[in-house]
């Protein structure tokens, strides 16, 4: 095997342009993922191949990623500290993975790639290194990972916009009205984990920079579906998770400008982050911290997780985002057109039906509690979706028109017909999803709405489950 992961990604503009010349998406094969042949039992009897339609929570591992990790595993060794061959190989693999991720994101030459545990960890790291008196601006539509980390900063929460232009105008007004012209940071998602809608990141970045602010892009839902270019979007940082990028081994990325990262104390203090430690005469210690990405990577790094992210970046790049985007839009159209044929179904959206989106769609069904509906999809059709508020409570409550204090629990499945659910159902898919899975999903929705569930369900520890 080779330790080198230095494979350049195509320019994002070229990848996006390739959509127009991609092969017929209806004929394109999905990428191979683990679990594609797993069968699950149905409460009504028999088994069926599992339809994994919860990619927005965690995407299945690409077979390519699994194979690369399996090939590397016998060579696993300590990183950065070992003189032995396996340690040197693992160190090279780890650092070449950093190069691969930087190329995948089209980073600037001076940017740093810091490996973390997840998007949440990445944004908490950035929150920990904010300069004093930094003001943060974040829309209420964000996932909690990007809504909540800024507890030590002065935060302005912006109301949910109803068009991309309104999002930009709202941010511009907020930045123009800020109290001072000190450091400021805007945090915005690239694609909503609730609606799948793409946000006007480039325009928001321009607005932020025009008012002397910086911007961080939460690309957790964008990077697995669409090319992301730090330079083209002109964002200061980007964060994403491996487990949503078909690399479920517990690593994430924060990539971008180095100055705030290097001016702050390490996110975690310990080995790896420290360059030199010496005792003082007064009994204390003096520490010289690294000025590279290692400053915020204390402890033994997750080499497997990091390598798996690099493997996924290479796999998606080689598959071609043009083809991947075209095929996913083919699936999006299938689901949306199928759900549009069911009057009882209401798809949730901020920006309207024509807004560009990735393969994430949330909806509610008249007369159904969402947890009951999701449970029936699983137990009676072998389809895995998600129900709830999707760690984006303010956004989902806005879309549902519920009061801010309204509870979002599962609710009893025996709720009166027509009772409005305080949560929603989310179906999400990606590069590994076959047509049959979304076709089965649409068919199941139509049958459940027309005929009702075939089984009885009960609430157990806040979840709707089949009654035994």
Residues designated as active site: 391
Q: Measured between alpha carbons, how far is 66 from 51 in angstroms, rounded to an integer?
A: 20
Chain centre distance of CA 205:
19
- Rounded to whole angstroms, the Cα distance separating 355 from 337 reads 15
Coil, strand or helix at 397: helix
Beta strands in 159-307 (DSSP E): 184-189, 214-218, 237-241, 252-256, 274-279, 285-289
The CA distance from 174 to 177, in Å, is: 5
Are the CB atoms for 52 and 60 separated by under 8 Å?
A: yes
Distance, in Å, from the CA atom of 382 to the CA atom of 444, rounded to the nearest integer, reads 10
Looking at the DSSP assignment, which residues form a beta bridge with residue 425? 363, 387
Please tell me what DSSP assigns to residue 193.
Answer: T
Q: Which residue has the tokens 């159902």?
A: 425
The rounded distance, in Å, linking the Cα atoms of 358 and 245 is 14
Structure tokens at 165: 């232009």
């Amino acid at each position: 095997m080779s330790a080198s992961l230095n494979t350049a990604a195509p320019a994002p503009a070229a990848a996006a342009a390739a959509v127009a010349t991609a092969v017929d998406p209806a004929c394109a094969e999905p990428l191979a993922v683990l679990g594609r042949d797993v069968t699950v039992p149905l409460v009504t009897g028999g088994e069926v191949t599992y339809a994994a339609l919860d990619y927005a929570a965690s995407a299945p591992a690409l077979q390519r990623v699994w194979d690369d990790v399996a090939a590397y595993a016998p060579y696993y060794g300590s990183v950065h500290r070992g003189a032995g061959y396996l340690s040197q190989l693992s160190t090279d693999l780890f650092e070449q993975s950093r190069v691969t991720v930087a190329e995948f994101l089209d980073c600037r030459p001076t940017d740093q790639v810091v490996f973390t545990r997840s998007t949440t960890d990445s944004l908490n790291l950035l929150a920990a290194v904010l300069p004093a008196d930094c003001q943060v601006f974040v829309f209420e539509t964000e996932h909690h990972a990007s809504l909540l980390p800024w507890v030590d900063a002065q935060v302005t929460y912006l109301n949910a916009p109803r068009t991309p232009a309104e999002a930009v105008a709202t941010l511009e007004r907020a930045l123009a009205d800020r109290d001072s012209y000190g450091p400021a940071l805007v945090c915005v998602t690239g694609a909503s984990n609730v609606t799948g809608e793409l946000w006007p990141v480039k325009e928001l970045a321009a607005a932020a920079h025009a008012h002397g602010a910086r911007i961080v892009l939460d690309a957790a839902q964008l990077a697995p579906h669409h090319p992301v270019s730090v330079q083209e979007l002109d964002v200061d940082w980007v964060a994403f998770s491996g487990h949503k990028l078909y690399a479920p081994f517990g690593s994430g990325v924060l990539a971008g400008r180095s100055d705030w990262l290097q001016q702050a104390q390490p996110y975690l203090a310990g080995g790896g982050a420290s360059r030199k430690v010496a005792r003082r005469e007064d009994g204390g210690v003096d520490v010289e911290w690294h000025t590279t990405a290692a400053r915020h990577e204390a402890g033994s790094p997750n080499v497997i997780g990091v390598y798996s992210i690099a493997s996924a970046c290479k796999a998606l790049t080689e598959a071609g985002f043009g083809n991947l985007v075209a095929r996913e839009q083919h699936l999006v159209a299938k689901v949306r057109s199928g759900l549009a044929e069911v009057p009882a179904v209401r798809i949730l959206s901020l920006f309207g039906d024509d807004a560009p989106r990735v393969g994430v769609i949330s909806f509610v069904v008249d007369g159904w509690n969402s947890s009951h509906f999701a449970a029936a999809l699983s137990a009676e059709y072998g389809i895995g979706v998600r129900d709830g508020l999707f760690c984006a409570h303010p956004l989902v409550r806005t879309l549902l028109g519920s009061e801010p204090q309204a509870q979002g629990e599962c609710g009893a499945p025996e709720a009166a017909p027509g009772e409005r659910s305080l949560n929603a159902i989310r179906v999400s898919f990606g590069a590994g999803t076959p047509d049959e899975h979304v076709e089965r999903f649409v068919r199941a929705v139509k049958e459940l709405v027309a005929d009702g569930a075939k089984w009885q369900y009960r609430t157990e520890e806040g979840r709707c489950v089949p009654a035994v």
